[in-house]
Amino acid sequence: MASSREIILSALRSAAPTPLPIPEPRGIGARYPDLRQEFAKAVGEVGGRCVLLSAEGVLEEALSGFSEYSQAKRVASLVAGVDKANVDLADVKDPHELHDLDVCVLLGELGVAENGAVWIREGVAGNRAGWFLAQHMVLVLPGESIVHDLHQAYERIDAKSRGFGTFISGPSKTADIEQALVIGAQGPRSCTVLVIG
Residue 21 lies in a domain: no
Rg (CA), the chain: 23
Give pLDDT tens digits along the chain (197 positions). Answer: 788 999 998 888 888 888 888 877 666 677 889 999 999 999 999 999 999 998 767 888 889 899 999 999 999 998 888 889 999 888 888 889 999 999 999 999 999 999 999 999 876 556 788 888 999 999 999 999 999 999 899 989 987 777 788 899 988 888 877 778 788 778 889 999 999 98
Residue 126 lies in a domain: yes
Residue 8 lies in a domain: no
Q: Give the model's pLDDT for residue 74.
A: 94
192 has which bridge partners?
49, 138
Number of domains, the chain:
1
The domain containing residue 86 runs over which residues? 32-196
Dihedral sign for Cα 99, 89, 91, 84, please.
negative
Residue 6 lies in a domain: no
Q: Give the model's pLDDT for residue 26.
A: 61
Residue 148 lies in a domain: yes
CATH of residue 69's domain is 3.40.50.10420
* Length of the chain (residues): 197
Residue 57 lies in a domain: yes
Residue 88 lies in a domain: yes
Residue 7 lies in a domain: no
Nearest to 98 by CA among 64, 136, 68, 67: 136
